Structure formats: C-alpha cells, structure tokens
Structure 1
Amino acid sequence: MKLTVTFIRYFLIVLWVYASVSKLITFDEFQVQLAQSPLLSAYAVPVSYVVIIAELSIAVLLCVRRSLLIGLYLSFGLMTAFSVYIYLILNYSDFVPCSCGGILEKMGWKEHFWFNITVCLLILLAIIFTDIFKKRMLILSSVLLVLSAGMVTVLFLQSEYNIKDGGFTRNFISQKLEEDKALDLNIKAYYIAGSYEKKIYLGNYNKPFNVAVVDKNMRKKHDYKVDIDRKDIPFHSIKLRVLHPYFYLGDGISAVLLRGALGKWNAKTISYRQTHFTDFIPVDSTRFVVKGYSKKSGQNILGVLHTHKDGQVLESHQELLEKQIDGVFDTDGILNYSLEQQKAVYTYFYRNQYLVTDANLNLLHRVNTIDTTSIAQIKVSKLKNGEHKMSAPPQTINKKVVVHRNLLFNISNSIGKSESKSMWKQAVIVDVYDFVKQAYIGSFYVYHRGEHKLSDMLVTDHYLYGLFDRELVRFILPEQLRERIY
C-alpha cells in the first residue's frame, strides 16, 4: 500500500513539474493555444498563469509529507477539470491545439482523455490509501468532482463561439431533404474525392493510397490500393481528386502530382518539385488550379499549373485573394471546379464572399453570400520563432463548400434572424447559391445522425451524398433545387 502511494506520489510530481516547465519554455505559444480554445479564449492570459502556478504548487505540496493529502486532492480536482475540458472538446467543439506541452502535446485528443482518466483513478487510489477518514474522503472527492466538472461546463455554456449570429434572414426551401439509402463504411477515415456516373470515390486520410469505390445504388464498397511509379518520393500529406476519366493524387508539401486512369489504379508522376501548394483541383488532364503560399508576398496565392510533356508552367494570380489582416489566415478558403460550367469557385472560410473565375483563373465575379461578415473576424499572433498562429477562435462563416454544375452548396456556421438555436444542436444548415447568376436560392437542414454531424458532401443531379462519421448517406435532392440545375 505504501509502495503504491509512493509510486503515485512521485509520478504526479514528475507529471506536474514536466507539464508546467514545458509550458514555461514555450509560454507565448501556450498562451496562443489557450486563446484558440472555444472555452477559454476570453480568459487565456489569466488562465495561462493560473494553470502553471497551480501545477507547480501542487508538485511542491506533494513533495512535503504533511501536505501530501492536500496535494492529492488538488491533483484530483485539476485533473478532473482537464478531463472534462477534453471531453467537451471531443464531443461538442471543433479541434483546437493541445496546450499541455512536451510529449503530452503529441497525444491525440482521445488518447489524452483516457490518459487523464487513468491518472484520476490513480489519484483516487492514493487518496483512499492515504486519508484515514473515509467519510471525509468520500465528501471531498465528490465535491471536487462536481466543482471541477461544473466550472469547466459553465465556461463551455457561456462560450459564444459555437454559433455566430449573422444578422440576416434565410429563405428555407419548403421541401425537406429526404433520406434514401445509407451505407456503413466501417471506418471514419474517409472523405469524398469525386464521382462519375454510377460510382462515388472516397479517399482515406489514414491510408492515402487506398481508394474506396461505392456504387450509386449504395449497396457495395470496393477497396483498391494505388500503385505509384515513384517510390523514392517522401510523401507527407496526400489528397485524392477525381475528374473523369482520371484520378489524381497530390501532395503539396512534396510538390508532387500523380495521375492514373479510373479503374486501373496505377498512377504516374506528372509534376514534381514544380510548385508547393496547400490545395489543388484538376481542370483537365494536364491543368490544375492550385492554392499556395507566396514567400515573396507572405500571402496565400492562387495559380494555374500546366503539366505538359515538354515542360511545366505555373501562372500565378496574386490579384485574386484580397488581404484584410495577414494575407494567410484571412484569405484561407475552399477550391471547387464545375466541369459543366468550366468555372472555378473559391470560397473564403472567414468572410461572406466567394470568387468565380474561368478555368484559367480570370476573374468573373466576386459574390457575397447572405451572411453579413465582410471582414474576417480573426486574431493572429507572431511567435518568437517567426511562426504565425491564430490567437483566438476564428469565426468560421463557410465551413464546407461543394459545387455541382451551376449550384454552390455551403455548410454555414452562422445563425440567421428568428432561427431556433435548438435546431443548430440537431442539424447543420446548407445554403444554396447559383454562382453563375450570382443569386441566393434557399437553405435547408441536414439533420445529425445520432451524435454525428454532416462532415462532407457531394451533389449530383438528383441526390446529395453526405458523410456522417463512418456512414455514407444518400438523400433525394428537393425538386425545388433539381429544377434550378443547368
């Protein structure tokens, strides 16, 4: 028993000292990461000091025999608060960077949560062996559990970053989105890469050279592995795109693009070290619209990459993305391309605007959405190492955008006038625009499936396909939208 308590005691001392010192070493980054949290943004500065002081103080209390029990109780309260915080982040909020420091920062959110739970149980075990007054032990442990969990939960409920009031009125389509079929994909690592005729193609975040093909009857999923011609290239972040009759693999960090014929699953390198990029979409078999970072301007930039047998040419279009704050975060957005309309569409994440260009990125229109946020509501800090990071949770306006023919479908993050906030806990809202006519058409709800929200989507002439965790669901597109497609 004494050996168990001694082990837990020294383990906690090392844990608290290590965590606090790691935060002190990268203190400016620690404060920025706290400021990114949807729960703690408004209190980032005081919380950064309180957490470090608390961790060091608890470590000191654990070192002294007389104050060991106090240190154990405070350890339990603080670790409970950390655990509840991670639980809320996992289940009710978008991802924010871990601010624990050191090797603990390398853990995923789920691993970190279970690590904290394990530590809480160890602390409780040490308290049981140390506190001879069992009634006091039961009362204090229960009170600390309720207070710690309650404090973090109150901060979460007070947060105003989850749903932004856009101050506008939506026109909801009278016909509801009707579920047609669903297919269990078994894992939740998929994203939608494209479609053609009776097949939908899914990429895999965990296994980037794997492709899943789903027939549009939603009956079967077939898995394939892509064989590439260059095994010597160090791949980092691969994305799959589909534009019939080819599929494309792109890695902007390694500056490589590969192309293969659909159904054959062999890919050859068509561009290597020509340009680095953060996103890409194929326009045809040798031409791509890419988004990247310009070292010269220090801003995001769009360009057209031509990959020909006799050479490669990159045409930059610095004039398209308009800087408001830093030129990087404020111009971040989503690339789409409509093959039928021969037009590219770029939608900003943090402001109410999308750009429409031709296939060569010649600007046709700058179009505002129904949201009223014309200036990106973001805060950016520069760290000592020169790196720029978000210093507050950004107010995302447009979360996910896809286009089909002339229509743009946008998962909005803004609540309109007279809309029920309770509905936002049950569904996401998709706003639909005709980007050719520069017109807003209407909006509709896509309800969550249990606890899972719509994370990705694809639209065809008759259906909307949605990804919910590990499930692919087909919905019948309302007639009011089908008749607007051309």
Structure 2
Amino acid sequence: MKNIAYIIALLIAYFFVLLFCYAGISKVLDFENFQVQIAQSPLLSAFAGFVSYSVILAEIIIVSFLLIPKLRLVGLYASLGMMTAFTIYIYLILNYSDFVPCSCGGILEKMGWTEHLIFNIACIFLSLISVIIIEKHRQTKKIKYFISSAIIIILSCLMVIILFFQSEHIIKKENNFTRKFLPNFIIENEKTDLEHGDYYFAGKDNKGIYLGSRSTPLILTKIDYRFKRTESFRIIPDHSDYSFKSLQIKVKHPYYYLYDGTVPVIYRGTLNDSSAKTISKGDAFFSQLAVIDSSNFILRTQDSRTHEYTIARLRTGQKTNISLFPTILEKQIDGIFDCDGKLIENQQHPGEFLYTYFYRNQLIMINDSLPRVKRQSTIDPISKAQMNITQLSNGTHMMNAPPVRVNIQSAFYGNYVYNISGLPGKFEPARLRKGRKAIDIYRIDRNEYIASFYLPKQKVEDIIVTPEGLYIISGKQLLRYHFRKPLKGEAENLTTE
C-alpha cells in the first residue's frame, strides 16, 4: 500500500510538471499578450511588469524542484502555494472586481473563470495529498506538515490580497500610466447623419442636446436624446454690426448665449425665442466662456499686463465687473501655449467647471470658491508641457514643432471626468489600440483614476456625457453610446439600459 501511495504522489508531482510546463511555455511564447492581460487585471495592473516575469520564473523553478527527487517535496509545497495564490486571485476577481478581465494564458484560456476556480481547488487538494503521502513516507510528524501546509496557504492568500490592495492604491492614487480597461463598457445605440462636419456640442436640457455650427454660427440645432426629432432656428442678435471671427453658442436652460471673445460682446436669448439681446458689451475680450447663471460667467482671457492666459469671472448687470485669477493657470514656459486647454461645464452639477490642459497631465476643478481650485493629475506622466517656443520681435510667440498632446477632449458629468488621452499607456501595443482612442475615467471627489475604455476607431470632434449616455460627434455623424453597467459606487443617474 505504501508503494501504491508513493506512486500516486509521484504521478501528482508529474502532473504539476506538465501543468506548469504547459502554462509557462504558453506565457513565454506569447509573452507580450500575457503581460498586456496582466496589465488589464483589476487586481494586478500596477505590478504587471514584476508579476509577468515572476510567475513564469516561479513556474520554471517549481518544475525544476519537482524533477529532482531530493527537492520534490519542496516543489510540492511550492505547487500548493502557487495554486492557492491562483485560487484566491480568481476568487477576488469573481467577487470583488469591477469587471472580469480576459484570461492570462495557458490553461486559463481554455476554461471560464468559475471552471478554472474549481480546477485550482482540485489542484490544491492534489498537492496536499501528495505532500501528506511523502511526509508520511518520511515518517514526519503529522502536526509538522499540517502546520507547514497551513502557513503556506495563509501566506499565499496574504500575498495576493496585499498585492490587490497595493495595486488598487497605486492605480488610483499613484498611477504609473498603466490603464485598467473596462471590456465592452460602452455599446452603440443610435447614430444619425449630420449636414456637415462643423458641429460642436452647445449644451443640453432635460429633453435633448444642442448643437452649434462653426460654418453656420447663428443656427442652433436641437436633437432629442434618441435622435427621433430635430429642430433648428436662426438666432437674430439685436446688434450685429461687429467684425466677428468665430461666433459660438452655449446653452444653459432656459437660455442660450451667443458670443465671440475676439469681440467683447455676449448675447442672451430664451430657447423658444430667436431674438438675442446684448447683455455684455466692451467688458472683456476672451477666448473661452462657461455659464454660471444668466448673468455670471467663467472666462479664459489674457491678462493685459502679462499677456498670459488667465481664468476670470464676469458679472453682468447693473454693476458689471470682471475679476482675474492669475494663479489658477500655472505658467511653465510662455503662459499661452503651455497653458492652453479647454474649459467645460459639469453637465449634472451647475456651477462646477473643469479646465483640462492640452499639454500636461492636469485637470483643474473650478467653482464659486475662486481663486481656490482643486487640481487632479491624470495618469499620464507628462507634468511639464513638451514644446519648443520662440518669442518673435513683435512680442508674439511661435511654436517651432508640434507639441506632445496629452489630453484631447474631456466630458464632465457629476463626480466623473471622461478624458480622451492622446498617448498610449504601458503595456498597450499598437495591435491592441488599432488606432482607437482611450477614454480615462477620473473621480474628482476622491481624486482617483477609476478605469479606461476604448472608443471604436473613429474621428472624435467633440464629446458630451448626459443622463442618456455618451454622445460623440464624429465627422458628419452624431453617435450615442450607453454604458453597459454603472461604475462601482457610482451614484449618478446615467442610463445603462
């Protein structure tokens, strides 16, 4: 009987030799894919480089131990620890992960996660059986190998749990530009053709979205959220004898606002009336505008003394005044190109705004507490604008080469910022991106990076997030996507359908 038992233990050891050889060789032959999949793991993203190498190395070492008779018992204990670690990892994925990622090579590719959990548990029992048989054969005290097995199981569990919590902290707070992708996070619902490719999002109300047009700047178009009805009207300003360069429209229910910052004039009209009246004239030149309420605005303008971009607040009415806040936009090179970015409004919380730098990894949250603002870094490591600028003799600045674009577009809804990034992160090969753009999600109330998802391969002229989902203007098309499921802990009323 002892010989039969020892043969069983030997067969189990050879089973683990085959298992780890197959798994290790599979990972080595497709190492890039294995590393990418580890990077997309919701538990191990921050340690993708270390884990991808260490797992393969550990499997090779275990196989070596199992093939050497004097070290076989050590190899079986190591197999117990390895399979326990794999098992607790899968358990955490299935029960505590925001999503279930793709497989990580080897046997896992041939099974579902639940099936692999069962397989791993069976392997733990096999390794325990072989350990017990060999220890009995060596006449080791029962209490000794029971304690040894328990310690290995506990340490393996603790190792994975610690990696999980550390990875969560690093990814959310100290990210090293490793994205955590949400698979199939958005699903296309509707799309509709537009007359031309010059549209942009002007705003929304509770029934639909509004589009402005750069080629026909006095036309305001409203489209209901499901693209069933479209209506347009032409805005008629009370005074139009100005040399406008680029008229734009902002909508904040129940008003729309017509402006061109190169001419210091702002018009206001109600959404059911084409007549727009002047509410600000000669108060400020500006390049961007966001609406606080019917008579108060956040502007991006230039300081007349330094000629650098600055954030300002304009109050119109009987006591019109403008306040500059030069400390909000931080100069790095020239205060113009390096401070360039986009000012947008929170589509759920009125009075909250976001300024996204184009050429550095920072978002600025702005509200009524000016000049106090909240800054949040994106996961991209470029904290200083990478550009080469020359100042000409007439005082103007010229960019000598195209700069590195860090952020392309942003949408702001509730506590979440949806930022289209301009650069690939770690472990994102070209074949994975395939020309698609990544949207990184940030939670501003917690100063956290949440996760990312890919957009389909398409142009992106403008984006907006509403209660009905994500809307994108792509060339001559308007597309609507809904979110497959809400983010964990999300209290916003986004449609998930």
TM range (shorter): 0.5 to 0.7
- The answer to whether the 8 Å contact 1:303/1:315 transfers is yes
- The answer to whether the 8 Å contact 1:461/1:482 transfers is no
- Distance in 2, matches of 1:482 and 1:313, equals 44
- The answer to whether the 8 Å contact 1:447/1:453 transfers is no
Partner residue in 2 for 1:383:
392
How far is the alpha carbon of 1:381 from its aligned partner?
1.1
TM-score calculated relative to the size of structure 2: 0.61
Are positions 1:185 and 2:194 aligned together?
A: yes
Relative distance call for 1:241 and 1:353 in structure 2 (3 A) is same
- Distance in 2, matches of 1:238 and 1:266, equals 16
Relative distance call for 1:378 and 1:167 in structure 2 (3 A) is farther
- The answer to whether the 8 Å contact 1:183/1:219 transfers is no
Percentage identity across paired residues of the two chains? 33
Partner residue in 2 for 1:204:
213
Larger Rg belongs to: 2
RMSD: 1.8
Alignment of 1:218-367 (within 5 A): 218-308=227-317, 310-338=318-346, 340=349, 342-367=351-376
SS of the residue 2:486 aligns to: helix
- The answer to whether the 8 Å contact 2:247/2:258 transfers is yes
How far is the alpha carbon of 1:243 from its aligned partner?
0.8
TM-score calculated relative to the size of structure 1: 0.63
- The answer to whether the 8 Å contact 1:239/1:251 transfers is yes
Are positions 1:455 and 2:461 aligned together?
A: yes
Q: What are the ranges of 5 or more consecutive residues in structure 2 without an aligned counterpart? A: 1-174, 493-497
- Distance in 1, matches of 2:488 and 2:241, equals 47
How far is the alpha carbon of 1:172 from its aligned partner?
0.9
How far is the alpha carbon of 1:392 from its aligned partner?
1.1
- The answer to whether the 8 Å contact 2:328/2:373 transfers is no
Question: After superposition, what is the alpha-carbon deviation per residue over 1:95-150, rounded to whole angstroms, capped at 9, x for unaligned?
Answer: xxxxxxxxxxxxxxxxxxxxxxxxxxxxxxxxxxxxxxxxxxxxxxxxxxxxxxxx
Partner residue in 2 for 1:119:
none
Q: Which amino acid aligns with 2:394?
A: N
- The answer to whether the 8 Å contact 2:185/2:485 transfers is no
SS of the residue 2:471 aligns to: strand
- Distance in 2, matches of 1:323 and 1:235, equals 29
- The answer to whether the 8 Å contact 1:367/1:438 transfers is yes
- Distance in 2, matches of 1:333 and 1:314, equals 21
SS of the residue 1:479 aligns to: coil
How far is the alpha carbon of 1:167 from its aligned partner?
6.1
**Relative to structure 2, which stretch is displaced further, 255-264 or 424-433?**
424-433
- Distance in 1, matches of 2:309 and 2:298, equals 13
SS of the residue 1:481 aligns to: coil
Q: Which amino acid aligns with 2:423?
A: S
* The one of 407, 423, 427 aligned to 2:416: 407
Partner residue in 2 for 1:416:
425
How far is the alpha carbon of 1:260 from its aligned partner?
0.8
Partner residue in 2 for 1:103:
none
- The answer to whether the 8 Å contact 1:178/1:476 transfers is yes
Question: After superposition, what is the alpha-carbon deviation per residue over 1:209-229, rounded to whole angstroms, capped at 9, x for unaligned?
Answer: 011111112123222110111
- Distance in 1, matches of 2:274 and 2:466, equals 24
Relative distance call for 1:191 and 1:426 in structure 2 (3 A) is same
Higher relative contact order (CA 8 A, sep 6+): 1
SS of the residue 1:330 aligns to: helix
- Distance in 2, matches of 1:245 and 1:282, equals 12
Q: Which amino acid aligns with 1:444?
A: F
Are positions 1:370 and 2:379 aligned together?
A: yes
How far is the alpha carbon of 1:395 from its aligned partner?
0.4
How far is the alpha carbon of 1:268 from its aligned partner?
0.7
- The answer to whether the 8 Å contact 1:466/1:473 transfers is yes
How far is the alpha carbon of 1:342 from its aligned partner?
3.2
Relative distance call for 1:224 and 1:396 in structure 2 (3 A) is same
How far is the alpha carbon of 1:168 from its aligned partner?
1.4
- Distance in 1, matches of 2:228 and 2:222, equals 11
- Distance in 1, matches of 2:264 and 2:488, equals 39
Partner residue in 1 for 2:490:
484
- The answer to whether the 8 Å contact 1:299/1:327 transfers is yes
Relative distance call for 1:174 and 1:423 in structure 2 (3 A) is closer
Question: After superposition, what is the alpha-carbon deviation per residue over 1:185-237, rounded to whole angstroms, capped at 9, x for unaligned?
Answer: 12111111111112110000001101111111212322211011112232221
Q: Which amino acid aligns with 1:457?
A: I
Partner residue in 2 for 1:56:
none
Relative distance call for 1:220 and 1:482 in structure 2 (3 A) is farther
SS of the residue 1:386 aligns to: coil
- Distance in 2, matches of 1:459 and 1:315, equals 30
Alignment of 1:150-189 (within 5 A): 168-189=177-198
Paired residues in the alignment total: 317
SS of the residue 1:427 aligns to: coil
Q: Which amino acid aligns with 1:467?
A: I
- Distance in 2, matches of 1:482 and 1:424, equals 25
Q: Which amino acid aligns with 2:196?
A: I
How far is the alpha carbon of 1:330 from its aligned partner?
0.7
How far is the alpha carbon of 1:427 from its aligned partner?
1.5
Q: Which amino acid aligns with 1:356?
A: M
- Distance in 2, matches of 1:249 and 1:360, equals 26
Relative distance call for 1:173 and 1:388 in structure 2 (3 A) is same
- The answer to whether the 8 Å contact 2:225/2:468 transfers is no
- The answer to whether the 8 Å contact 1:249/1:259 transfers is yes
How far is the alpha carbon of 1:180 from its aligned partner?
0.2
SS of the residue 1:422 aligns to: helix
Relative distance call for 1:244 and 1:400 in structure 2 (3 A) is same
- The answer to whether the 8 Å contact 2:176/2:379 transfers is no
Q: Which amino acid aligns with 1:325?
A: I
SS of the residue 2:487 aligns to: helix
Partner residue in 2 for 1:472:
478
SS of the residue 2:472 aligns to: strand
How far is the alpha carbon of 1:173 from its aligned partner?
1.4
